[in-house]
């Protein structure tokens, strides 16, 4: 499992945790997130995320 | 503000509201759209309404306040005077980031986004820590300090000055660049003062322009230089856009973060148990930063221009009118935050406050601001463990400002 970091605000999407508040189950890979999923903290789109290098 | 004063008679432009903004911010939640009786601004306060406004720039535009549009009541004649001043001696402000909409906003934002990434800001952290430690070294032996003037405002000011290539010895003058930029946002500003402020802003533009000339030939790991040399699709910012954007970054990056640090220190000084917990658990300081941003946002509200006739909760909003989003109210909305008055270091949605905005205008410097505040709080707690309010000095007071919710003074001993 890996983590992705929002380049806009620093929110971390950890694949192991998912994003339950947005209906994303733990274990969901970043690539499998719905196309309209957005950063829960700053509302940036998925394209603003980058793989967290030290995750 | 009198406890008995009806909410309909109250305005953010009143000094007694500015000196204690929290109670009014909470009472605004009793209504969905409030018409400010002095500024005539329509005010939205609920979290979901602010989110809606933020998500619809086609209805609620940000394209309204960078151009010298004479917010004073002198109208077109005043606007002409302002335009002439900027055109003759400086750079005519135009809409780039804060006061712009897509698609123009998007192209500028893409370039600036390249600079303020988590990885880049992480490289700045050592420099921030050095600034914080030097300031503590300076005040520590004195045994007392005004943590606003001597510390909070200097942390982000010294950081951003170094990144704009401005010598630190000029800090008092440089601070007026930011102070007056904030002051100029006041919708009831005096027209003569508006012209004076234009002159000060032009001085800032000239300094930044001179630094940009230096960095053009000698690139450096500074924000201005990185911004100047950043490319998206082979395009770089031209000088006018660079000066405009760097000016916005300077103002936004200094005044607000200084206020954030001061507001947080004040909250700690008033809550010994919280201070003790953070001393024991410094990793929780990041969560505390979010709570400061939520409960005492240094910028308590933002204004949007109604771009087309629309309606909110039955209130008709005419194109050309102004709407104010009360961020501080939305941050205290119990429908979004459980026990909103409580400072909790364990909120699951603690980073979802409105203080940095939402969507396309989310504060571009948020990662820097969060880092500066976190490092400032951690170092104060570690190095000034006996810090407390100075009971022999004038008590802390909120600055009387329409646009900022920051302290005027914060005298402490340690």
* Regions of chain B with pLDDT less than 50: 1-4, 65-68, 70
The rounded mean pLDDT for chain A is 92
Q: Which domains does chain A have, with CATH numbers?
A: 3-51 (2.20.28.10)
CATH number, residue B58: 1.10.630.10
Q: The domain containing residue B164 runs over which residues?
A: 7-413
Does residue B136 fall inside a structural domain?
A: yes
| Chain segment A7-53, per-residue pLDDT in tens | 999 999 999 999 999 999 999 999 999 999 999 999 999 999 999 87
Alpha helices in B270-406 (DSSP H): 272-280, 285-295, 327-331, 366-383
Identify whether the C-beta of residue A15 lies closer than 8 Å to the C-beta of residue A29. Answer: yes
Does residue B99 fall inside a structural domain?
A: yes
Look at chain B and report how many structural domains it folds into. 1
pLDDT at B127: 97
Give Cα B239 to chain centroid, integer Å.
25
ipTM: 0.90
pLDDT at B8: 65
Does residue B1 fall inside a structural domain?
A: no
Residues β-bridged to residue B43: B34, B324
Query: What residues in B contact A8, CB-CB < 8 Å?
Result: 113, 362, 366
Nearest to B156 by CA among B135, B177, B128: B128
Does residue B66 fall inside a structural domain?
A: yes
| Chain segment B237-277, per-residue pLDDT in tens | 889 989 988 988 888 878 889 999 999 999 999 999 999 99
HSE-CB for B403 with a 13 A CA cutoff: 18
pLDDT at B107: 72
Does residue B127 fall inside a structural domain?
A: yes
A11/B348 CB distance under 8 A = no
Q: Which helix (H) or strand (E) holds B33?
A: strand B33-35
Tell which of B121, B122, B293, B351 to mutate to test the A interface (max A CBs under 10 Å): B351
Chain B residues touching chain A at CB-CB below 8 Å = 54-55, 113, 117-119, 348-349, 351-352, 356, 358-359, 362, 366-367, 370
Does residue B78 fall inside a structural domain?
A: yes
Query: What residues in B contact A47, CB-CB < 8 Å?
Result: none
Look up residue B221 and give its two tokens: 């790991």
- Distance in angstroms (rounded) separating the CA atoms of residues B44 and B47: 9
Query: Going by C-beta distance under 8 Å and a sequence separation of 6 or more, which residues neighbour residue B168?
Result: B158, B161, B162
Does residue B351 fall inside a structural domain?
A: yes
pLDDT at A55: 46
pLDDT at B3: 44
pLDDT at B67: 43
HSE-CB for B394 with a 13 A CA cutoff: 7
- Distance in angstroms (rounded) separating the CA atoms of residues B380 and B278: 11
Does residue B382 fall inside a structural domain?
A: yes
């Amino acid at each position: 499992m890996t983590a992705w970091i929002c380049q806009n605000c620093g929110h971390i999407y950890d694949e192991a945790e998912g994003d339950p508040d947005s209906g994303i189950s733990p274990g969901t890979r970043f690539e499998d997130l719905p196309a309209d999923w957005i950063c829960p903290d700053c509302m940036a789109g998925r394209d603003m995320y980058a793989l967290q290098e030290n995750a | 503000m009198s406890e008995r004063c009806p909410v309909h008679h109250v305005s953010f432009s009143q000094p007694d509201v500015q000196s204690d903004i929290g109670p009014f911010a909470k009472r605004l939640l009793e209504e969905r759209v409030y018409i400010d009786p002095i500024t005539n601004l329509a005010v939205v306060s609920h979290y979901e309404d602010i989110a809606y406004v933020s998500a619809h720039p086609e209805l609620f535009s940000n394209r309204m306040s960078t151009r010298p549009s004479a917010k004073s009541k002198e109208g077109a004649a005043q606007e002409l005077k302002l335009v002439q001043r900027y055109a003759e001696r400086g750079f005519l402000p135009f809409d780039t980031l804060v006061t712009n909409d897509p698609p123009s906003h998007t192209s500028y934002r893409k370039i600036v986004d390249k600079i303020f990434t988590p990885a880049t800001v992480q490289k700045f952290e050592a420099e921030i820590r050095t600034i914080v430690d030097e300031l503590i070294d300076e005040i520590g032996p004195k045994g007392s300090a005004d943590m606003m003037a001597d510390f909070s405002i200097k942390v982000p000011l010294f950081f951003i000055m170094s990144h704009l290539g401005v010598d630190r010895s000029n800090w008092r003058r440089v601070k007026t660049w930011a102070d007056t930029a904030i002051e100029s946002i006041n919708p009831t500003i005096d027209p003569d003062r508006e012209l004076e402020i234009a002159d000060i802003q032009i001085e800032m533009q000239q300094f930044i322009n001179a630094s940009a000339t230096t960095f053009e030939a000698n690139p450096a790991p500074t924000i201005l230089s990185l911004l100047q040399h950043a490319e998206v699709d082979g395009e770089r910012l031209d000088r006018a856009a660079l000066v405009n954007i760097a000016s916005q970054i300077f103002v936004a990056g200094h005044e607000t973060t200084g206020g954030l640090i001061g507001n947080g220190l004040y909250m700690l000084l008033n809550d010994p148990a919280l201070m003790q917990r953070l001393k024991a658990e410094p990793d929780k300081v990041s969560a505390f930063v979010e709570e400061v941003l939520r409960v005492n946002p240094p910028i308590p509200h933002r204004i949007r221009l109604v771009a087309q006739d629309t309606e909110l909760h039955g209130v008709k909003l005419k194109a050309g009118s102004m709407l104010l989003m009360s961020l501080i109210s939305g941050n205290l909305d119990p429908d979004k935050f459980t026990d909103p008055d409580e400072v909790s270091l364990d909120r699951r949605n603690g980073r979802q406050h409105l203080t940095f905005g939402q969507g396309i205008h989310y504060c571009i410097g948020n990662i820097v601001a969060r880092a500066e505040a976190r490092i400032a709080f951690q170092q104060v707690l570690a190095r000034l463990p006996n810090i407390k309010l100075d009971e022999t000095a004038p008590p802390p007071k909120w600055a009387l400002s329409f646009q900022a919710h920051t302290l005027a003074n914060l005298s402490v001993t340690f």
